[in-house]
Chains A and B, each alone.
Chain A
Amino acid sequence: MVKYILKRCLQALPVLFGATFLVYGLVFLQPGDPIRALCGQHCPNEAGLDIIRARYNLDKPFILQYLLYMKNLLLGDFGTTFSGRSVSDIIATSMPNTIHLGLIAIAFEIILGVGIGIIVGIRRGSFFDSSILVITLILISIPTFVLGFVCQLVFGMNLGIVPPTVGSSTDFEHMYMPALILATGSIASICRLTRNSIQDNSYADHVRTSYAKGLPRYQVTLRHIFRNSMIPVVTYIGADLGALMGGAVLTETIFNIQGIGNQLYAAIQRGEGTTVVSIITLFVIIFVVTNIVVDILYAVLDPRIRYGK
């Protein structure tokens, strides 16, 4: 097992380098001069601009810029923004808000997604089952930002039952609507996944055998159907953690949550390579780690899978 984890971590290295290189390149290729945009209507003269460019290594060729950045990154220095703030500070202050949002979203996914999925999985073919199928289909098709703006307008502004934005108050009262919206697509997907998975397993040979040997229905459902059905669901939730980070960019902008997604969006607008790549690097690390954890969980859930042989 240890050997397997080590191998996976080593495999993650090229992913990390490839991703940072690509993202850094994309930011570099963005049209426009970020330093000139920084000062807007008024700028120091060309000589002054050159001083600022040199400060952020922007006067050097692309490859050198990237290597200098990576060198600092490996030394644990995420660099500074154009406004002189350290990127690690920004991540440290905004990441907790995003994690908070993400955790509430995942909680919703588990409670609503898995919960409803189990019910419709057992009571397949019922009216409830078909209505859930239709509702989840609709929810999957609505883009996050549409749902976000509509809910903000209806529940936040017109009805006034939830605060329309989050701002600096990140308690549950302010966060649950954005989190629910962020999780909507996944809730629907998880619901369907759980349902299908339970249905598939209900017809499996070992389930039939269990019934035949006289086990009570609830024990069959709990022991033999659920456990096997959770394998794809766990994988999905794990992989979804990364997707939530990406979705957070939209949700955080709509609801003015001071999280990492908002920072990423602002940094892209400013053309600030160091910040963008640092945040993306973090995302990649989260992605890779959750994937490894999911793979290990796989083995725990399914004894047929063995690693490290």
Chain B
Amino acid sequence: MAKKWKRVTGVALSFTLLTTSFLALTACGSNSNAGAQDNIIRAYGCEPKNPLVPGNTSETCGGNPLDLLFEGLVSYDGEQGKVVNSVAESIKTEDSQHFKVTLKPGMKFSDGTAVNAESFVDAWNYTANTANAQSGQSFFDKIEGFDEVSKKDATQDQKLSGLKLVDDTHFDITLDAPSATFVTSLVATAYFPLPKAFFKDPKTFGTDAAHTIGNGPYKLKNYVHDSKIELAVNEEYKGADKPQNDGIEFLVYAGSANDAAFADIQSGTLDALETTKTDNYVNNKNDSRIQWKVEVSNNYASISIPGYLKHFGFDEEGKLRRAAISKSLDRKAFIEKIAKGLAVQPTSFSPVSKSISGSVDKIEGNDVLEFNAAEAKELWEKANKISPWESGETFKLFYNGDSGGKEAFDAYANSIKETLGINCVSEGTSDFKTLLHMMADKKVEGAYKDNWQLDYPSIENILQPLFKSNADSNYTGYESEEFDELLNQAAKQVDIDKANALFTKAQEVLIKDLPSIPTTYGYNKGAFSPKVKNVKYNWKGVPDYLRMSKK
């Protein structure tokens, strides 16, 4: 008996010893990384969904590092509100359909190889080809020959006929039809060049520091999945965008760990958090440990009402009901109570900003975006005369429940319910992919939250993909000959101002039909360390990390 007891206590004793020694060991190994004042910006990051390949990245986790690791033909100067040349020396056109591109000589990738016309032509051909299944494919749909390379049975060696290599620093682009905003659209990540190394081994490119080669102001120094993406200054870079810091470290936060990132801003381990929750801002507005940067974002925000919904076809009845719904949304009360002042009343189909070429604060007929209970009721009654709204019918507002839209959509639903006296409820889907699937299959049984992030800084990027007949993201099924014609006319212009005037006219057609009702445009609520200087947003609503400095 005694022997056995010894054995048991032996086991128990060694176990406790093990754990306590383990605790002691780990306690000794602890160190703190705060204190040192360097000029490296530690920024909020998240794990990219794909390897770091520009043509296959359509989300910000990968997009933010890529925009610093690569440089395209042109970039957008948000302060002046115009496109400036980057790798391109010049892009010439006489008809907005044929473009002659000249590159600056002597530009290099971080591995020392030249950035030449081939780097662009090969990259674009690769991304456009269906066989490579790249998410940036649709960016090339304006280029001649896209129909061929995007066919179901396209083979990898097929090339866009609209791209012609002239010599090392020259290539020509031919579009299917004129596009006044084509040069502006070239700022998008999908148009970045790719080095020879990519085509040797496309599968491993962008998975680690050794296999990520760009031509931007930074190079990838270290990429630890789920942990951090470290960028260092690229010595091979000869362009104009010289970094004002010694490097950028994207610290990866998993899941929806925005709260964890905010905690790190307060404790000083993180320098830049591009946006945070409204509550965090309201509750910590005067916290001296935080440098706030709040301004209107460039995202379009709306409730779309699909045309396949009963009572909401794109006819007289649908028009009346859409206008009635829009006028019954008490946006002012929403901005004040729910958004805590961090949202603005829409006046057109985009926020007004220098970062959106062609955005205007006045379009004819925009009074439909203002709350007016009496008129809303009147319009609704008019529609009822065409086809009555039965008492048992419910108007549903869908939103994706994973990004905190409940408060807003409950408020909208209440506003509609009270103004029109109809049954209106909000309904959250479990996540965005569920809602997207319903939208794509045209199976949403109500209106739905429809937000849009710009791919290039032009109003066209809202009007064309969301509202042109049969466009990629036109999930409402909206079709208007007049609207399409205005967009086509605008595309033919060489002068961007003339094009923008036509876009405004197109908006005025759109606001009569209201396939999608602008709600309120939100803010970027960025939190930064007080140590960081020169905090600004670029046209994408992403902090301009390159120009930030701690000195």
A and B pair up: yes
Partner-B contacts on A (CB < 8 A):
30-34, 36-49, 51-52, 82-85, 89-90, 93-94, 100, 103-104, 106-107, 110-111, 149, 152-153, 156-157, 160, 163-165, 167-169, 171-175, 223, 227, 230, 252-256, 258, 262-263, 265-266, 269-271, 300-301, 303
Q: B58 touching A41 by the CB < 8 A rule? A: yes
CB neighbours (8 Å) of A258 from chain B are 226-227, 252, 254
Per-residue CB proximity of B43-66 to A under 8 Å, as 1/0?
A: 000011111000000110000000
Kindly report which residue of chain A lies nearest to residue B453, judged by CB atoms.
A41
Q: B263 touching A265 by the CB < 8 A rule? A: no
Task: State which size class the interface on B falls in.
Answer: 35 or more
Q: A39 touching B4 by the CB < 8 A rule? A: no
Q: B269 touching A253 by the CB < 8 A rule? A: no
Q: B436 touching A111 by the CB < 8 A rule? A: no
Per-residue CB proximity of B2-14 to A under 8 Å, as 1/0?
A: 0011011001100
Kindly report which residue of chain B lies nearest to residue A258, judged by CB atoms.
B226
Kindly report which residue of chain A lies nearest to residue B253, judged by CB atoms.
A256
CB neighbours (8 Å) of A230 from chain B are 12
Q: B137 touching A93 by the CB < 8 A rule? A: no
Q: B437 touching A32 by the CB < 8 A rule? A: yes
Q: B228 touching A157 by the CB < 8 A rule? A: no
CB neighbours (8 Å) of A42 from chain B are 58, 135-139, 190, 455, 472
Q: B257 touching A256 by the CB < 8 A rule? A: yes
Choose among B31, B264, B402 the residue that contacts A167 (Cβ–Cβ < 8 A). B264
Whether B26 sits at the interface, judged by CB under 8 Å, is yes
Task: For the complex formed, measure the closest distance between the CB of A46 and the CB atoms of chain B, giving whole angstroms.
Answer: 8
Per-residue CB proximity of B407-446 to A under 8 Å, as 1/0?
A: 0000000000000000000000111111111001000000
Apart from A37-B432, A47-B151, what are 13 other A-B pairs with CB-CB below 8 Å? A40-B135, A41-B455, A44-B130, A84-B203, A103-B22, A153-B263, A164-B264, A167-B227, A167-B251, A167-B264, A252-B254, A256-B253, A266-B254
Task: For the complex formed, measure the closest distance between the CB of A186 and the CB atoms of chain B, giving whole angstroms.
Answer: 14
Per-residue CB proximity of B259-287 to A under 8 Å, as 1/0?
A: 11101101101000000000000000000
Q: B437 touching A262 by the CB < 8 A rule? A: no
Q: Would you list 12 pairs from A and B whose C-beta atoms are within 8 A, ordered by A residue? A: A34-B433, A43-B58, A45-B137, A47-B130, A94-B226, A100-B26, A157-B266, A223-B5, A227-B5, A227-B8, A253-B255, A256-B253
Task: For the complex formed, measure the closest distance between the CB of A234 and the CB atoms of chain B, giving whole angstroms.
Answer: 9
Choose among A152, A172, A173, A269 the residue that contacts B255 (Cβ–Cβ < 8 A). A269
Choose among A44, A85, A163 the residue that contacts B135 (Cβ–Cβ < 8 A). A44
Q: B130 touching A165 by the CB < 8 A rule? A: no
Where chain A touches its partner, the secondary structure class is helix
A-B interface, 8 closest residue pairs, ranked by CB to CB distance from nearest: A37-B433, A172-B26, A32-B433, A173-B30, A164-B263, A48-B133, A256-B260, A39-B135
In this complex, which of A111, A164, A165 has the most chain B Cβ atoms within 10 angstroms of its Cβ?
A165
Q: B264 touching A36 by the CB < 8 A rule? A: no
Whether B538 sits at the interface, judged by CB under 8 Å, is no
Q: B267 touching A163 by the CB < 8 A rule? A: yes
Q: A51 touching B58 by the CB < 8 A rule? A: no
Chain B, 212-230, CB within 8 A of any chain A CB:
224-228
Task: For the complex formed, measure the closest distance between the CB of B342 and the CB atoms of chain A, giving whole angstroms.
Answer: 21
Kindly report which residue of chain B lies nearest to residue A270, judged by CB atoms.
B49
Q: B130 touching A45 by the CB < 8 A rule? A: yes
Task: For the complex formed, measure the closest distance between the CB of B394 and the CB atoms of chain A, giving whole angstroms.
Answer: 21
Kindly report which residue of chain B lies nearest to residue A42, judged by CB atoms.
B58
Whether B88 sits at the interface, judged by CB under 8 Å, is no
Kindly report which residue of chain B lies nearest to residue A265, judged by CB atoms.
B255
Chain B, 192-233, CB within 8 A of any chain A CB:
203, 207, 224-228
Q: A107 touching B253 by the CB < 8 A rule? A: no
Q: B19 touching A106 by the CB < 8 A rule? A: yes
Kindly report which residue of chain A lies nearest to residue B26, judged by CB atoms.
A172
Q: B29 touching A43 by the CB < 8 A rule? A: no
Q: B436 touching A36 by the CB < 8 A rule? A: yes
CB neighbours (8 Å) of A49 from chain B are 133
Whether B452 sits at the interface, judged by CB under 8 Å, is yes
CB neighbours (8 Å) of A89 from chain B are 225
Whether B296 sits at the interface, judged by CB under 8 Å, is no
Choose among B138, B269, B436 the residue that contacts A45 (Cβ–Cβ < 8 A). B138
In the bound complex, how far is the Cα of B224 from the Cα of A230, in angstroms? 43
Q: B11 touching A37 by the CB < 8 A rule? A: no
With A36-B433, A48-B134 already in contact, the answer to whether A84 and B207 are too (CB < 8 A) is: yes
Q: B16 touching A110 by the CB < 8 A rule? A: yes
Whether B240 sits at the interface, judged by CB under 8 Å, is no
Kindly report which residue of chain A lies nearest to residue B226, judged by CB atoms.
A258
Q: B49 touching A43 by the CB < 8 A rule? A: no
Q: B473 touching A41 by the CB < 8 A rule? A: yes
Kindly report which residue of chain B lies nearest to residue A156, judged by CB atoms.
B263
With A256-B253, A258-B254 already in contact, the answer to whether A266 and B137 are too (CB < 8 A) is: no
